Amino acid sequence: MKFSIDRIEGDFAVLILENGEIVNVPKKLFDNPKEGVSYSLTEVKSRYDTAKLLKEVFND
């Protein structure tokens, strides 16, 4: 899955997914989040195991 960071709002990164959906995730998932930069899930996942990543995205 590919996405880009639309903007940073406080502790959250506002992402635009490749299907156009907008999602807020903790910006701590990124080493150095920058607005307008495109990512793939595998780039972000490299810092976290899948279970931890999903828990932080959907349960925070």
Q: Which parts of the chain sit beneath pLDDT 70?
A: 43-51, 54, 60
Q: How many Cβ atoms are within 10 Å of 37's Cβ, its own excluded?
A: 12
pLDDT at 29: 82
pLDDT at 20: 92
pLDDT at 15: 93
Q: Tell me, yes or no, if the pTM score tops 0.85.
A: no
CA distances from 12 to 20, 26 (A): 18, 4
Q: Which residues contact 35 (CB under 8 A, 6 or more apart)?
A: 5, 6, 7, 8
pLDDT at 36: 93
Using one digit for the tens of pLDDT, what is the confidence trace for 11-28? 999 999 988 999 998 888
Three-state DSSP at 5 gives strand
